[in-house]
Homo-oligomer: A and B are copies of this chain.
Amino acid sequence: MSFCSEQLARVQPIWERMLDHRFLKETRDGTVAHETFANWMRQDYLFVEAAIPFIAALIPKAPKDHRAALGAALPTLEKELELFRERAESAGVDLRNVEPSFTNHAYVQFLLASAYARSYAEAFTVLYVAEKAYYDSWMVVKAGIDKGSIWYPFVENWTSDAFKGWVDYLEGELDRLAQDVGAAERLNMSQLFELTTKYELAFWEMAASGESWPGLPEEKA
């Protein structure tokens, strides 16, 4: 079995919990509170912004035949941010002066620290899981959301053929990388696979709960 299939099977209980999250189901069913989705949008804008340094930091460690794909992802993310700003504006959501929530900040630090201190195959595992989780999560929403919903354009973005192609590319390459590494590195990759899944679940939880910083009253967060 390929590395990705094996790992997806292994983390399935967490993965299902993620896909079954109330944030996704309420968005799909049109029952999500406007402020809840708006909060997610503000936080996710910061997250997408932070994905740029993460992917950039992977490039110096990448095999040469990965560089073009990773390099092309940077202008794509810049365009995605532009789209975000346009759509947010039309939905009346203000993306300026947003501070990252605790979970968002933590997840971004995890991405960066992985890119710098981990091996390429380990950090690439984190990238794949983050993108795959996004695709699968938004496919859940796509299955039921009204196409007239003001949130529909977001659903479209991460369920597009282009995005699916990117996730498929990452999956194929991760399977290849996993074949080449030694046993200790493969074990690390498997731990990071699970850990990234847990961060993804935490992100939906943060979006749904409007989390404040641990130990601080809500207005400080």
Chain A contacts to B: CB under 8 angstroms: 13-14, 17-18, 21, 49, 52-54, 56-57, 59-61, 63-64, 67-68, 70-72, 74-75, 77-78, 102-103, 105-106, 108-110, 112-120, 179-185, 195, 198, 201-202, 204-206, 211, 213-216, 220
Are the CB atoms of B67 and A117 closer together than 8 Å? no
* Chain B, Cβ-Cβ closest to A112: B113
Q: Which residues of B contact A52 (CB under 8 A)?
A: 59, 67, 71
Instruction: Indicate the member of A13, A49, A181, A211 with the most B CB atoms within 10 Å.
Output: A181
Are the CB atoms of A71 and B74 closer together than 8 Å? yes
Q: Which residues of B contact A213 (CB under 8 A)?
A: 198, 201-202
Are the CB atoms of A214 and B202 closer together than 8 Å? yes
* A46 to B144 Cα, complex, angstroms: 44
- From B60, B75, B201, B211, give the contact of A57 (CB < 8 A): B60
* A and B contact pairs by CB, cutoff 8 A, 19 listed: A13-B220, A14-B216, A14-B220, A52-B67, A52-B71, A54-B60, A56-B59, A60-B112, A68-B75, A75-B75, A102-B106, A102-B198, A105-B195, A108-B113, A109-B110, A113-B116, A116-B117, A180-B184, A181-B182
Q: How many copies does the complex hold?
A: 4
Q: Which residues of B contact A206 (CB under 8 A)?
A: 214
A57-B59, A59-B74, A103-B106 known; 20 other A-B pairs, CB under 8 Å?
A53-B59, A53-B67, A53-B117, A56-B56, A56-B70, A56-B71, A61-B118, A61-B119, A68-B78, A71-B75, A74-B74, A102-B106, A105-B106, A106-B106, A109-B112, A116-B116, A119-B120, A180-B184, A201-B215, A201-B216
Are the CB atoms of A214 and B103 closer together than 8 Å? yes
- How near does chain B come to A118, taking the closest CB pair, in angstroms? 8
